[in-house]
């Protein structure tokens, strides 16, 4: 392992991208918007919505820079993907979380420390409902610890290219990749380890992703059943300020359920 990143991760990516980019342009019409928002150099954490297994191939195929992704460790159980996926840039992560995911987080930090692009789905897994789900805070944690900006990404149409449980994609369909403006995390540089700040930041990211992809938002984690008595989270956290002092008053901050719910348009007088 070199500086936290296993040497096999991404070893074949340059070659794979040379092959994949023209193939994707031939088989699918992918409209890329906001490419000017992607940093031309230096580290960044890309956060797309996740609706299809082909998402992890569409985004790298349309970006001018290489990108490393996290993917579920179960892919390593299949001989067809055990060596291929890591070689083209997938960092396997144990989705049980905690210490089980530490190796993947270390590898992600290594990518950012090298000045690379790192992609992570804040929802944690594909949405089976077609809705955008509540974000996990791992992306926010990585961004704040490394100082790398977060780039929200909205994917549209990939579900029609490859629906759930369909082994082969549908050819000659259309999809859109909307790349949002980078979110500068430097305002949180002195708040490393503050879980409330991680939640605040990832809620902001999910708000931007929804604007880019147009999915309806549901305030539950993807893959988890919604209970009848579930209530929106309310987190008490210091008012963002710099410098932060111990006697800063606290306020009730709206959760992502409040931030993302549809708002009526204001009437225009006339």
Confidence at residue 96, expressed as pLDDT on a 0 to 100 scale: 65
- Angle 159-165-169 from CA coordinates, rounded to 5°: 55
Confidence at residue 30, expressed as pLDDT on a 0 to 100 scale: 97
Mean pLDDT of the chain: 83
Residue 43 lies in a domain: yes
Residue 133 lies in a domain: yes
pLDDT digits (tens, 9 = 90+) for 29-77: 999 999 999 999 999 999 999 999 999 999 999 999 999 998 877 777 8
Residue 251 lies in a domain: no
Give 81 or 54, the one with higher predicted confidence. 54
Residue 259 lies in a domain: no
pLDDT band at 97 (very low <50, low <70, confident <90, very high): low
- CATH code of residue 222: 3.40.1130.10
Residue 241 lies in a domain: no
Q: Of the ranges 17-31, 73-87, 141-155, which one carries the lowest mean pLDDT score? A: 73-87
What is the rounded average pLDDT of the residues 207-236?
73
- Angle 210-215-220 from CA coordinates, rounded to 5°: 85
Domain count, the chain: 1
Contact yes or no for 241/152 (Cβ under 8 A): no
- DSSP characters for 127-183? -SSSSEEPPPSHHHHHHHHHTPPEEEEEEESHHHHS-TT-SSPPTT-EEEEEEPPPB
Q: Of the ranges 98-102, 175-179, 224-228, 252-256, which one carries the lowest mean pLDDT score? A: 252-256
Residue 76 lies in a domain: yes
Residue 7 lies in a domain: no
Confidence at residue 95, expressed as pLDDT on a 0 to 100 scale: 64
Residue 216, pLDDT above cutoff 70:
yes
* Domain span at 199: 13-230
Confidence at residue 173, expressed as pLDDT on a 0 to 100 scale: 97
Residue 226, pLDDT above cutoff 80:
no
Put simply, whether the predicted model's pTM sits higher than 0.75 gets the answer yes
What is the rounded average pLDDT of the residues 161-175?
95
Residue 270 lies in a domain: no
């Amino acid at each position: 392992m070199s500086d936290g990143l296993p040497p096999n991760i991404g070893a074949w990516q340059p070659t794979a991208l040379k092959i994949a980019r023209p193939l994707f342009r031939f088989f699918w019409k992918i409209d890329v918007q906001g490419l000017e928002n992607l940093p031309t150099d230096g580290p960044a954490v890309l956060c797309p919505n996740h609706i299809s297994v082909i998402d992890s191939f569409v985004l790298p195929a349309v970006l001018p820079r290489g990108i490393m992704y996290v993917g579920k460790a179960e892919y390593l159980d299949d001989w067809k993907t055990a060596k291929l996926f890591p070689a083209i840039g997938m960092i396997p992560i144990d989705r049980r979380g905690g210490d089980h995911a530490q190796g993947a987080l270390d590898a992600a930090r290594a990518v950012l420390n090298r000045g690379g692009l790192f992609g992570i789905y804040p929802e944690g897994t594909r949405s089976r409902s077609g809705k955008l789900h509540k974000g996990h805070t791992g992306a926010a944690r990585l961004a704040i610890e490394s100082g790398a900006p977060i780039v929200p990404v909205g994917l549209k149409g990939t579900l029609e290219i490859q629906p759930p449980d369909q082994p082969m994609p549908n050819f000659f369909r259309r999809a859109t990749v909307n790349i949002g403006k980078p979110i500068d995390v430097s305002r949180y540089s002195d708040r490393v380890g503050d879980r409330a700040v991680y939640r605040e930041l990832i809620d902001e990211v999910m708000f931007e992703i929804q604007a880019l992809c147009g999915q309806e938002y549901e305030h539950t984690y993807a893959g988890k059943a919604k209970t009848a008595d579930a209530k929106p989270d309310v987190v008490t956290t210091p008012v963002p300020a710099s410098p932060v002092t111990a006697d800063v008053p606290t306020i009730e901050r709206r959760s992502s359920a409040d931030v993302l719910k549809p708002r009526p348009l204001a009437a225009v007088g006339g």
